[in-house]
Structure 1
Amino acid sequence: MKVNIKVIDKLREESCTFCIHKVTSFVADVISTLENKPDNYLIATSTQKNEQERVSYSVIIYLEYLERNIFIYTKKNVFETKGPLYKLEQNLPDYFIRISKSLIINIHFLNKFSVKANGNLEALLSNEEKVVVSRKYVPSLKKALSDYTKPPLMY
């Protein structure tokens, strides 16, 4: 990737423009860092260290609700938090989509999916894990993918 840097007068506001083919999770993380928003992460407990950490939304592959706990899966770690999944879902960015009663995935990490005989879809995530998309959620997944792949409006 080519990088252009232009030093500007200190009186002008700094800005950044991306010319990209697709908004990947890496780009989303860079944007989050540049904007320095406090709401681009959630606080959860690491299952390995038993310590609370900030987990950036852009590194979350999927969230799963099991036994009144929400498990948050990233490439390197698994985190846990308490509460209902629907409340957490309301605060997630639009690139998270519910695929079943107990699963929400980050569509940046969706590699491919295939149709099963019962009408469900099986999705392959970037961490090589397979998850089932319930029939009820197939239309919303397809809509989210088609909406997400449209080029963003420029102003």
Structure 2
Amino acid sequence: MEQLTASRFLTVRQEEDWKPLLLSAITHVESLHKKTWVYADGEAYSVSHPLKDLERKLPEDFVRIHRSFIVNLLAVERITRDLASNLVMVLVDGSELPVGQSYAADVKRVLGM
């Protein structure tokens, strides 16, 4: 599968239109209700790729943090903990994404925590 690093864009869909979206504009990617959603500039776009494929294709700034989320590390404002002491990533757009238990060690390694 080709790496998206060769391209700085991911083609996304919003309603009936297709749009090339800059990878740097993407804050996170979510798998929800058997669809994959890409979030950028306060908008949600659908893509035809499953999360597993995007995880392999996206550049190293994108890290899988949960079974339902991939995050752009450049969009992380801070990392905190919830009431159960689980890691939570707060993004520049205000989104708060949980870090899954099975991904926490890898996230900490990537971030040097």
Alignment TM-score, normalising by the size of structure 2 = 0.86
Aligned Cα RMSD in Å?
A: 1.8
Q: What is residue 102 of structure 1 aligned with on the other side?
A: 68
CA distance in 2, matches of 1:38, 1:136: 30
Aligned pair partner of 1:58 in 15, 18, 24: 24
Residue deviations 1:53-105 (CA, integer Å, cap 9, x gap): 10111110000011221100002422101232101111100000011001000
The whole-number CA distance in structure 1 between the counterparts of 2:111 and 2:24 is 17
Structure 1 ranges of 4+ moved more than 6 A = none
1:41 paired with 2:4, answer: no
Q: Alignment identity in percent?
A: 23
Look up the SS of the partner of 1:136 in the other structure. helix
1:122 positional shift: 1.4
Equivalent in the alignment of 1:24 = none
- Provide structure 2 residue ranges, at least 5 long, that are not aligned to the other structure: none
Larger radius of gyration: 1
Q: What's the CA shift string for 1:19-50, capped at 9, x where partnerless?
A: xxxxxxxxxxxxxxxxxx75221111024xx3
CA contact (8 A) 1:120 1:132 kept: yes
* Inter-CA distance 68–82: structure 2 relative to 1 (3 Å threshold): farther
| Distance change >3 Å, CA 135–CA 38, structure 1 → 2 | closer
Where do residues 100-139 of structure 1 align in structure 2 (5 Å cutoff)? 100-139=66-105
**Matched length:** 109
Q: Pick closer, same or farther for the CA change 1:138–1:41 going to 2, 3 Å.
A: same
The answer to whether the Cα contact below 8 Å between 1:60 and 1:74 also exists between their aligned partners in 2 is: yes
Q: Distance in 1 between matches of 2:77 and 2:11?
A: 27
Amino acid corresponding to residue 8 of structure 2 in structure 1: N
Q: 1:62 to 1:97 in 2, by over 3 A?
A: same
Gaps of 5+ in 1: 1-36, 148-155
